Amino acid sequence: MPPKSRYTKEQVIMAALELTRENGFDSVSARSVGTALKSSQNVIFSSFENMDELKEAVVAEAGRFYIEYQKTAVQESKDPPYLAAGIAYIGFANVEPELFRLLFMRDRSKERFHNDFNDFDVIAERLQERYGVSIDEARELHLRMWLFVHGIASAVITSYLAFDEEKIRSLLSTQMIGMKYIYIDE
């Protein structure tokens, strides 16, 4: 049994999360986390079975961080919640590019589960209630809006495009008008 570490599991996760924020997820290794904590790489293995377990914990913590960012942005916004959420998603890509890449732009084909930190069904149900459409129409509307928002976020994070918040608001508002035209009888 390894000796008790002077670092908690949470401190190890936060050190790995900070490394991710600064240098990307690929920079997280037993050695880099140990160095960040001014310890040996064994600090990892006093709290985790292996690096995969630590990396899963980092993804989960990044997801919690994103959810809190999204929630705060929507609550503080004067925009309608659905628009505010789209703006916040793009804003997160802009202010936390490495965490955005980790959460929304990594290869997930080998993962045993997919958690996209967006409750797709809950959002679709809210759209269904708000606009009186079928759940299938609400899911399709949200999928198309999410693809549009993700595309803008991807262009922003790769420095392909630079938009201020007003331009983003205008783009998303116009797209929603088009989606409402297709899916909603108003």
Q: How far apart are CA 180 and CA 25, in angstroms?
A: 38
What predicted TM-score, i.e. pTM, was given to this entire model? 0.88
Sorted by where each starts, the structural domains of the chain and their CATH numbers stand as 1-48 (1.10.10), 61-183 (1.10.357.10)
Q: What is the pLDDT of residues 20-38, one digit of tens each?
A: 999 999 999 999 999 999 9
pLDDT(5) > 80 = no
3-state secondary structure of 134: coil
Confidence of residue 117 (pLDDT cuts 50, 70, 90): low
Burial environment of residue 175 by CB neighbours within 10 A (0 to 12, 13 to 18, 19 or more): middle
